[in-house]
């Protein structure tokens, strides 16, 4: 009499303790096996609590993947610049799905695009896309500042010459025939500082008839001539997203997130504390584009300047540098 109910009850308890968990894992295994695309869950937390989880993914070129993005804390954004993925908002508790098929092997950085916390800029991850099984990822070429051996942390003198009025690229266009080869060629021009360019132009007897303002206009033209308006517009968007919080929308280095950053004072206490002022001609005209690109790519070691450049394409890096120049040079 006693046995049958006990056996039934034991059967139910075993179902709960053994069959039920087995069913959960079995169902998941079945879903995974029958799914048409690989599904990868990425949890986005504030960097202080771990950032992206996982922050490294290994995928195969040509393999479609569905990324399921979610946040347990605050609103985050998500971008994989190299794969053209941009998600503006991941609200807590909401799952955002993005389908992506990387077609070329390589390393693709992904990042949060919303200022989610003090260390937002640290919220990064990498997707490694391989080709054939066992294939080694292609070596990346080191950035130009490393190729040229430029120490981007070294202290630099302020520009010895600065313009009295804001130089105009448009006015400089009328004088473009006077540009020497090293300023016409973009690759060469990147290694020259605008201040040096001004002094070289000024020293050229052929420009003796030009006023200092004309020469500065010519310099402005040299630095902005390669950046079309659309690229500048894109850089404006990136600047608002990544830079304005510290450097301020007006580039004066007074953004709310930069208030407590050490800036270059970390290297030299005599330097002003906080983010760089892009409207300061003494500072900006003494820096060449390679140096600025280096800062973008690697960040300012110890200054609080994050490295955003690794999220930008080459064209976006160039556009961003031109945008920074445009705080001094009228486009």
Partner 1 sequence: MRYALSEIPVIKRVLHSRWLQWSLTALTLLFFVLAIIAGLVGTPAGNRNFGIVFVWIVWWALLILLLVPFAGRLWCGVCPIPAPGEWLQRRALVQPRPGGKLYTLGKKWPKAFRNIWLQNAGFLGVALFSTVILTTPMATALVLLGFMIVAVGTSLIFERRTFCRYLCPVGGFIGLYSQVAPIELRVKDTAVCASHTEKTCYTGSDEGYGCPWLVFPGGLTNNTYCGLCTECLKTCTRDNIAIFVRQPGADLLKTTGHKLDEAYKGLIMLACAFIYSTVLIGPWGVLKETARSVGTPGWFAYAGIFLALNLAILPGLFWLAVRSGQWIGQSVKTSIGKLFSDYAAVLVPLGLTAWVAFSLSFVLINFSYAWSVLSDPLGWGWNLFGTVGLKWTPYIPGLVPYLQVPVMLIGLTAAIALALRTARQHGQPAWSALPVAAFCAAATVGLLGLYLA
Q: Which of 52, 71, 198, 299 lies at the binding interface for partner 1 (CB under 8 A)? A: 71
**Minimum distance between the CB of residue 80 and partner 1, rounded to whole angstroms?**
20
SS3 193: coil
List the strands of the sheet with 96-100, edge to edge. Answer: 52-53, 38-44, 65-70, 96-100
Strand runs labelled E in the chain = 38-44, 52-53, 56-60, 65-70, 76-80, 85-90, 96-100, 106-111, 124-130
- Helix axis angle, 314-325 to 212-224, nearest 10°: 160
Using CB under 8 A as the binding rule, whether residue 24 contacts partner 1 is answered as: yes
- Among 61, 65, 100, CA closest to 84: 100
Cβ closest to partner 1, residue 35 vs residue 301: 35
Give the tokens for residue 139: 């070596």
Q: Which of 34, 56, 93, 154 lies at the binding interface for partner 1 (CB under 8 A)? A: 93
For partner 1, which stretch binds (CB under 8 A), given 17-25, 104-112, 175-183, 316-324? 17-25
Q: Which of 53, 101, 186, 313 lies at the binding interface for partner 1 (CB under 8 A)? A: 53
- What span, in angstroms and rounded, lies between the C-alpha atoms of 283 and 272? 11
Cβ closest to partner 1, residue 93 vs residue 229: 93
> Could you say which DSSP state residue 56 is in?
E
Cβ closest to partner 1, residue 12 vs residue 158: 12
Cβ closest to partner 1, residue 36 vs residue 211: 36
Q: Which of 26, 31, 185, 302 lies at the binding interface for partner 1 (CB under 8 A)? A: 31
List of residues contacting partner 1 (CB under 8 A): 2, 5-6, 9-10, 12-13, 16-17, 20-21, 24, 27-28, 31, 39, 41, 43, 48, 53, 68, 70-72, 92-95
């Amino acid at each position: 009499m006693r046995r049958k109910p006990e056996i039934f009850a034991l059967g139910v308890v075993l179902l709960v303790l053994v069959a039920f968990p087995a069913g959960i894992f079995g169902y998941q295994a079945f879903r995974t096996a029958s799914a048409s695309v690989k599904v990868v869950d990425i949890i986005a937390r504030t960097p202080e609590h771990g950032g992206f989880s996982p922050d490294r993914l290994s995928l195969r070129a040509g393999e479609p993947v569905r990324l399921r993005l979610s946040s347990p804390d605050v609103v985050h954004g998500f971008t994989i610049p190299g794969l053209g993925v941009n998600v503006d908002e991941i609200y807590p508790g909401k799952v955002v799905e993005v389908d992506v098929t990387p077609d070329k092997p390589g390393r693709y950085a992904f990042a949060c695009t919303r200022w989610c916390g003090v260390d937002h800029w640290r919220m990064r991850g990498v997707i490694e896309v391989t080709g054939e099984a066992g294939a080694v990822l292609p070596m990346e070429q080191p950035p130009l500042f490393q190729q040229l051996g430029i120490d981007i942390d070294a202290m630099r003198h302020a520009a010895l010459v600065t313009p009295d009025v804001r130089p105009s690229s448009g006015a400089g266009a009328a004088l473009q025939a006077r540009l020497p080869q090293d300023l016409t060629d973009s690759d060469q021009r990147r290694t020259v500082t605008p201040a040096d360019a001004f002094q070289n132009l000024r020293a050229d007897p052929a420009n003796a008839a030009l006023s200092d303002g004309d020469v500065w206009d010519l310099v402005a033209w040299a630095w902005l001539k390669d950046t079309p308006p659309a690229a500048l517009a894109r850089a404006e968007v990136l600047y608002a997203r990544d830079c304005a919080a510290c450097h301020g929308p007006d580039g004066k280095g007074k953004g709310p997130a930069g208030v407590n950053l050490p800036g270059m004072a970390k290297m030299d206490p005599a330097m002003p504390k906080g983010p760089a002022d892009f409207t300061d001609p003494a500072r900006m005209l003494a820096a060449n584009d390679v140096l600025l690109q280096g800062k973008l790519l690697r960040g300012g070691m110890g200054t609080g300047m994050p490295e955003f450049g690794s999220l930008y394409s080459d064209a976006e890096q160039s556009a961003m540098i031109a945008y920074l120049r445009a705080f001094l040079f009228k486009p």
